[in-house]
Chains A and B, each alone.
Chain A
Amino acid sequence: MTVPIDQHNEGVKKNVTFRVFRFNPQVDSKPYFDDYTIPVERGITVLRSLNYIKEHIDASVSFRAFCQAGICGSCGMRVNGRSQLACTTQVWDVLARSRDEGIIKVEPLRNLPLIKDLIVDMDPLVDKMKHYSNWIDSTMPEASMGKKEFLISEEEFLRYDKATDCILCASCVSECSILRANKEYVSPAVLLKSYRMNVDSRDSIHGQRLAELVKDHGVWDCTHCYRCQESCVKSIPIMDAIHGIREDAIESRGMKDTSGSKHAEAFMSDIEKKGKLVEATLPIRTNGVVWTLQNLLPMAVKMIMKRRTPPPPPLVKSAKGIKIFREMFREMTEHVKQDHKSHKK
């Protein structure tokens, strides 16, 4: 049975206040918010509302928009604190979850330089894509291209299928907790793209890319907060890519490669032996004696003064039920190893 929309929804409007972040570097010394209240019916997106405000109330409100269909990635912004595409976000849906009734707060993406109002500079992201060679450097010489296809299995295609959904909207960049502290950090989107290139059999610079990824500000800086993945507008499992690069790094470059991998190894070994961390020696095992003395000695002295030092290794007792735990640990690592083997096939 067909229900005409008009009977129960069409024409019903709600007054919505859009609290829009404003900043014009030519005249403003600091940002501020402007409120615009407009009637919004069901089915209207945040982007269409901003268009309406721009056309009917204040033409100076500035934001990017292009395809308006969720595929070009231009209109990434924070709506009620959450980074997303304005063009695929329904006003009524957001309204239902608004903390301040009837108010939707619209702000620019974080972690990228602000240009004006809701517009941020995307150049840093492009620069990182270049730095981490986010392209296929084909094993086929340019002169021979176009003559025959590489044969690619469905299984290989599936390895990078999801990753190639990325539209570089930078929602993940905006949500990343590492980038907030360190703007030089590689960024989730660039890790995802790097992973996509690394698992492509047509690529010839996998080793070179990986060598760059394990350096400072690279793949080991991620703290697994999963915010990138949660905010991804295309629901891409970005963390799988980050883990993928790490596993690959350990596998092909060895465990002693970087402080990140050594840190992971120290964690593993503690958990296996004692079921908990031996914190006192962790910095030494991760970064070496010299680094620890140079960087952590003052803090260690302070901790001793305040009696906050972790117990020395001999005093760290094994956790309760360690025997059963070790058995579980062995089973799990065995399982992971098997998984790796089948992945590689």
Chain B
Amino acid sequence: MKPFDVVIVGGGGAGLYAAMEAMKTNPSLNIAVLSKVYPNRSHTSAAQGGANAALANKAKNDTVEMHIFDTIKGSDYLADQDAVDVLCSEAPKIIRELENMGTPWSRMDDNTIAQRPFGGATLPRCCYCSDKTGHTILQTLYEQCLKKGVIFFNEYFALNLSVNGSRSRGLIAMNMKSGKVEAFPARTVIFATGGYAKMYWNRSSNAAGNTGDGQAIAFRSGIPLKDMEFVQFHPTGLRKSGLLITEGARGEGGYLVNKDGERFMARYAKEKMELGPRDLVSRSIETEILEGRGFDSPAGTYIHLDLTHLGADLIKSRLPQIREMSMQFEGVDPIEEPIPIRPTAHYSMGGIDTDNFGRTVMQGVYAAGECGCVSVHGANRLGGNSLLDILVFGRIAGHTAAEEAQQFEPGTISEGELKEQLDEVRGGMHSSGNYERYGALREDLGKTLASNVGIYRESSLLQKGIQEISELKERFKKVRVFDTSDVFNTNLMQVLELKNMLDLAETVAAGAYARQESRGSHTRVDFPVRDDVNWHKHTLATLVNGKVVLGEKPVTMGRYELQERTY
């Protein structure tokens, strides 16, 4: 195959923006996007809320500087301040650019892009399209990529980088439709494969495929992962599926109730009650469950989000989506019954360590979006900043790769390498000694993470978690791929995804164990306060001789000094 100049892995917001920008930067380049799903299926579509930008359409006194400060404070001062500068200064431009290309933003009375308030933001600056913002952004980007003639390899599963010393020769991927392992020799590779929070499995709001494939591939190739221990939990996920019930349900007056019929938030946030900050509410629900005041069910312990007292009219008019979701995914009509919920993992702050241009330590390899970690979210991401992140840094990575592609020799990937990969991925199909079911392993991984590396973390629990993950990795060696066919082998794909999740779970647990403080989403019961003296720094997880080795990286400071984070 003719070598590519830029190969982008992932067709969500970051990947598509990268592709578009790379084509714009140099139209003569040979650019391809690989995605394990059709790009319009990517998880970007699930983002409902919106994207922050200081357009000052709604609050005329809003400024980029205020957006910067809110983001740094929200990150519990772990974000790199120069990166946040880039994120927030580029925000108005990128939102307008999308608007100019056709994104159907909701509008204000003066016909400008509408903005609404969001958690952690001083002023209303979240640009939105009803409750389908991510979906419409993804559609716009996909449409524009089709218009520009971007070459798509849909339903290709990325397996590995082909590495020669300190630089990459390209990517090896499996064509799902044929089962063939194919080479993508390339001058540059951009990883934009999304987050890894699905490792918490049914205690995650993520899509089934958010398994951190790009991070795992980079990690196995020796590229460090940054701040992996930071995983954000949302308070109200549906019990069975982990899907989100948005904050609006509590905003309209919903109660959180334990099995004794008690509105327990009175004990944790007397004034704000159900409307306390996200991490506090998550921790409170978790405490109720841990202390035995939750409802038991085969699908796990949960508590009630009760809307019944709000009445049918209000629920139908203001919370129709929530009602629909409860009925579709739990079979519960919130007009008549309370909704079973529990906290759910839904965003990964950590990812592939990059600089502000999307570069990793390996020449010719870049990362962007939830897959990368610049870092702009630090220890805790603000609502409305994730869509912004994928847009801004997707574009930057695409631009950088297109500019730098010519510096790198095109790689070649040998037939031998492909054969080796093929043998490896199909290894689990042999009946001899392979008997473990991926479903059971995945379930166990989710459970051990939720109970030992979850909302509350503590030394002995984390040690237990690390131990159990390593046992699961041993068991994985005996995993069996029962479907032995070539065409669209989803069983094989699930096993390969599980392998990626196991590798990453180890880095999450290792980082959480090492970080002896509580900061942002990371809560250590045994170290309940933020420790700026010893822990105001990023962790870096690198694979050395098959072991996770933890290093560190200083936080880039700027105009804002460390302060206590209070709201």
Contacts and interface: CB of A to CB of B under 8 A. Distances in A.
Contacts of A45: 328-329
A275 interface: no
Contacts of B104: 157, 160-161, 164, 200
A56 interface: yes
Contacts of B180: none
B113 interface: yes
Interface string A221-243: 00000000000000000000000
Interface in A93-131: 115-116, 119, 122-123, 126, 129-130
Contacts of B96: 145-149
> Which of B37, B113, B259, B487 gathers most chain A CB within 10 Å?
B487
B340 interface: yes
Interface residues of B, number: 79
Interface string B90-124: 00011011011110111101111100000000000
A71 B112 CA distance: 27
A56 B439 contact: yes
Interface stretch (A4-12, A247-255, A304-312, A324-332): A4-12
B491 interface: yes
A345 B457 CA distance: 61
A134 B45 contact: no
A181 interface: no
B313 to A, nearest CB: 19
A301 interface: no
B135 interface: yes
B62 to A, nearest CB: 15
A123 to B, nearest CB: 8
A271 interface: no
B337 A138 contact: no
Contacts of A41: 298
Contacts of A58: 482
B437 interface: yes
A135 B147 contact: yes
Contact of B308 (A2, A152, A154): A2
Contacts of B154: 122-123
A197 B332 CA distance: 38
A91 to B, nearest CB: 9
B488 A119 contact: yes
B243 interface: yes
Given A60-B483, A88-B328, A152-B111, A126 B38 contact: yes
Interface residues of A, number: 80
B297 A55 contact: no
> Which of A69, A74, A115 gathers most chain B CB within 10 Å?
A69
A142 interface: yes
Interface string B260-271: 010000000000
Contacts of A54: 439, 490-491
A244 interface: no
B146 interface: yes
A71 B106 CA distance: 19
B146 A69 contact: no
Contacts, number: 207
A32 B207 CA distance: 30
A26 interface: yes
B177 interface: yes
A74 to B, nearest CB: 5
A138 B101 contact: yes
Interface string A151-174: 111100100110011011000000
Contact of A165 (B105, B132, B296): B132
Contacts of B100: 138, 140, 144-146, 149-150, 202
Interface string B142-154: 0110110000001
Contacts of A81: none
A67 B42 CA distance: 8
B330 interface: yes
B327 A60 contact: no
A164 B136 contact: yes
Nearest to A148: B96
B372 interface: no
A66 B328 contact: no
Contacts of B136: 164
A73 interface: yes
Contacts of B482: 58-60
A128 to B, nearest CB: 11
* A interface SS class: loop
Given A43-B240, A63-B490, A157-B107, A74 B146 contact: no
Given A69-B329, A154-B107, A116 B487 contact: yes
A1 B295 CA distance: 16
> Which of A48, A63, A71 gathers most chain B CB within 10 Å?
A71
A26 to B, nearest CB: 6
Contact of B46 (A11, A67, A87, A119): A67
Given A146-B93, A146-B100, A202-B100, A115 B487 contact: yes
A126 B33 CA distance: 15
Given A43-B331, A59-B483, A135-B143, A72 B259 contact: no
Contacts of B489: 62
Given A68-B207, A69-B329, A138 B46 contact: no
Nearest to B108: A154
B485 interface: yes
A158 to B, nearest CB: 10
Interface of A: 1-6, 10-11, 24-27, 41-45, 48, 54-56, 58-60, 62-74, 87-90, 92, 115-116, 119, 122-123, 126, 129-130, 133-138, 140, 142, 144-154, 157, 160-161, 164-165, 167-168, 197, 200, 202-203
Interface of B: 24, 37-38, 40-43, 45-46, 55, 93-94, 96-97, 99-102, 104-107, 109-113, 129-130, 132, 135-136, 139-140, 143-144, 146-147, 154, 177, 207-209, 240-241, 243, 257, 259, 261, 295-298, 304, 306, 308, 325, 327-332, 337-338, 340, 437-439, 481-483, 485-491
25 contacts: A11-B298, A44-B240, A45-B328, A48-B241, A59-B481, A62-B483, A62-B491, A66-B37, A66-B43, A66-B207, A69-B325, A70-B328, A72-B37, A72-B207, A116-B488, A126-B146, A135-B144, A136-B101, A145-B101, A149-B55, A157-B104, A164-B129, A164-B139, A165-B132, A197-B102
Given A70-B325, A115-B487, A167-B40, 10 more contacts: A43-B331, A67-B43, A71-B46, A135-B143, A140-B100, A145-B100, A146-B100, A157-B106, A168-B38, A200-B104
